[in-house]
Amino acid sequence: MDNMKKILVIGSANADMVISSPKMPEIGETITGSGFTVNAGGKGFNQAVALSKLGGNVTFIGAVGNDANSEILAAAAKEYNVTYDVIRLETAPTGVAVVTVVNGDNFIVLDPGANGALTPALIDEKEDLLSQADIVVVQLEIPVETVLHLCKKAKQYGSYVVLNPAPYTKLPAEIFSLIDLIIPNEHEAEGLCGFPVDTKQACIKAIDRIKAKGIKNVIITLGKKGCAFSNGKQVVFRQAEESIAVDTTSAGDTFIGAFCVKLSEGKTYQEAIDFASKAAAITVSREGAAKSIPYAHEIQ
Ligand code: RIB
């Protein structure tokens, strides 16, 4: 364990309120769904769980409230062996995501709660962890000024910085030179580039555009169409693994966690993407967020 690269995930932790529904209701309509559960989720937390379940040496930093939902996250961190270093706030509740699953697709509305109160000053309280991290993984469910602040610190300490720009928020120009790898999906890539990223040509153009902003390495995830990546001159496309979609929640988080585990083991981008694609295919075949992420031994 001691020789393993240290990965730090800084991001959101949510209680996911999940219900399956035969369709999305019309305005003013009430319909009956089924299978209501409350689970641990949040893009940051899910990515930390993926890293842990798939063999990474991971610590998670986030903010939660002092409430019952925070206990769900603490219990999940224990179950999935995530080193969990959260800040417990009295001033805001734990983040909540209301997830409706319709035919395997998900529709999410979230209240960031404590995630939105994770300030740069609170990050400074965790400077020790930042200074020791080899890889820092961050998303956009915490304030952008905090993301910018921690990217600056991470770069100062020589870490490899991975940004998942989800959900898409306009980014300050100075952040791009601080990021080593960006992993948007097609919608976030559209936000970054200003045009739809819905064809191979558009993917190539988007990757060029993102690189021109100052990020050397780009992976665009494309859901059931796989992904496009570039960590050199070429753009390479990889198909997704076959899978029957039950619930796509946290498929992207699984991909990112799985990819970063292999990166931390010194594997190539191609090898890491093969592993991440297999892991994400398993996640979509199961219900839930953190709980649907596979363990390393489940991946052939
Ligand atoms: O990426 C999936 C996650 O997005 C869910 O777990 C939900 O909490 C939202 O943050």
pLDDT in tens, the chain (300 residues): 457 899 999 999 999 999 999 999 999 999 999 999 999 999 999 999 999 999 999 999 999 999 999 999 999 999 999 999 999 999 999 999 999 999 988 899 999 999 999 999 999 999 999 999 999 999 999 999 999 999 999 999 999 999 999 999 999 999 999 999 999 999 999 999 999 999 999 999 999 999 999 999 999 999 999 999 999 999 999 999 999 989 999 999 999 999 999 999 999 999 999 999 999 999 999 998 899 999 999 997
pLDDT score of 2 = 54
Whole-number Å distance between alpha carbons of 268 and 110: 35
Q: Which domains does the chain have, with CATH numbers?
A: 6-12+42-92+114-299 (3.40.1190.20)
- Residue 167: how many other CB atoms lie within 10 Å: 14
Whole-number Å distance between alpha carbons of 209 and 243: 31
Angle between helices 251-264 and 269-284 (to 10 degrees): 150
The three-state secondary structure class of 260 is: helix
Instruction: Specify whether the CB–CB gap between 271 and 262 falls below 8 A.
Output: yes
The residue whose C-alpha atom lies closest to atom 6 belonging to ligand 1 is 41
Full-model pTM: 0.96
The residues near 23 (Cβ < 8 Å, ≥ 6 apart) are 31, 102
Name the residue of 39, 99, 254 whose CB sits within 8 Å of the most ligand 1 atoms, as the mutation to test its pocket: 99
Which atom from ligand 1 is nearest to the alpha carbon of 12?
Answer: 10
Tokens read off for 114: 């404590």
The residue whose C-alpha atom lies closest to atom 2 belonging to ligand 1 is 250
The three-state secondary structure class of 251 is: helix
pLDDT score of 1 = 46
Half-sphere exposure (Cβ direction) of 66: Cα atoms closer than 13 Å: 4
Distance 292 CA to ligand 1 centre (A): 12
187-215 pLDDT, tens digit per residue, is 999 999 999 999 999 999 999 999 999 99
The residues near 232 (Cβ < 8 Å, ≥ 6 apart) are none
The residues near 149 (Cβ < 8 Å, ≥ 6 apart) are 120, 123
The three-state secondary structure class of 39 is: strand
Q: Which amino acid is at 73?
A: L
Q: Is 98 in the pocket of ligand 1 (CB under 6 A)?
A: no
The residue whose C-alpha atom lies closest to atom 8 belonging to ligand 1 is 42
232-285 pLDDT, tens digit per residue, is 999 999 999 999 989 999 999 999 999 999 999 999 999 999 999 999 999 999
The residues near 170 (Cβ < 8 Å, ≥ 6 apart) are 144, 191
